[in-house]
Amino acid sequence: MNKQLAPIGIFDSGYGGLTVLKKIVEVLPAYDYLYLGDNARAPYGTRSFETVYRYTLDCVKWFFAQGCPLVILACNTASAKALRSIQQQDLASLAPSNRVLGVIRPTTEMIGTVTRSGKVGILATKGTVSSGSYPIEIEKFYPGLAVYQEACPMWVPLVENNEHAGPGADYFVKKHLDSILAKDHSIDTVLLACTHYPLLLEKIRQFLPDGIQVISQGEIVANSLFNYLQRHPEMEQRLSKTGSRSFCTTDDIADFEQHASLFYGTTIKAEKITLT
């Protein structure tokens, strides 16, 4: 590989970002991708701002040390709690020509185009909900849109423990869907604002009334990255294109490989890394 060129970094606290990576490689297959799941410190969704920021920054530094000029935080919690600080405070001293992008902005840019009632529900981790990032960002693009949020703290553990398709998941999926719809019965669009939630899609559809659309972020983020690379040739030219995919975790490799295939759709080989 040309030493000047490097893969796109894709980051999540654990496995969820693989649902985003899967869509990104469908849209942009030629590029090389380096995935990192910070499984040893996941979940992030219940942690404080300070902790999520510190953990995410460690991982961004690791990507930069691997040479990645562009890192996507394929994690809503990290995007909500760490992205702005990294972009505004850290990037200038770390690597001013590198870029770190998140998943919230591209999603909020399009959400107003798909709702007919003007009422949308955001399903997310506690951390993303308490950050207020979605209502704040949506207000910028679509003032007047009614945004209702629901924290679903059990959904990530259900997915992480491979219980998302089992009967135990029914109770918690229904509980949070009922709760968000009770906030306004004319919500016609719900956004899965956590990259783990697409694995619960079948159950979510099962417990939602007909006519309510469910939006996952993978495709939105992939299309947004496509557009970004078209608008930023200076970044595009720094990216390697041999079609390689590498997977790293901060925790046990065997667990990661077994679990990751659920999220990514095919078996993968992983490498364990240590963050300094």
Given the rule CB under 6 A, which residues bind ligand DGL? 12-14, 16, 42-45, 75-77, 125, 128, 156, 194-196
Nearer to ligand DGL, 76 or 98 (CB): 76
Nearer to ligand DGL, 108 or 128 (CB): 128
Alpha-carbon span 44 to 41, nearest angstrom? 7
φ and ψ of 35, to 5 deg: -100, 135
Nearest to 191 by CA among 158, 159, 220, 213: 213
Minimal distance, residue 205 CB to ligand DGL, in Å? 20
Nearer to ligand DGL, 184 or 252 (CB): 252
Minimal distance, residue 36 CB to ligand DGL, in Å? 13
Nearer to ligand DGL, 84 or 241 (CB): 84
59 is catalytic: no
Minimal distance, residue 18 CB to ligand DGL, in Å? 10
Alpha-carbon span 276 to 265, nearest angstrom? 31
In angstroms, the Cα distances linking 8 to 3, 32, 39, 183, 207 are 14, 6, 20, 40, 37
Minimal distance, residue 125 CB to ligand DGL, in Å? 5
75 is catalytic: yes
Q: Give the active site residue among 59, 75, 152, 248.
A: 75
Q: Give the active site residue among 59, 68, 152, 194.
A: 194
Nearer to ligand DGL, 156 or 215 (CB): 156
Alpha-carbon span 272 to 237, nearest angstrom? 29
**Of all residues in this chain, which one has the CB nearest to ligand DGL in the complex?**
45
Minimal distance, residue 244 CB to ligand DGL, in Å? 24
Which residues belong to the active site? 75, 194
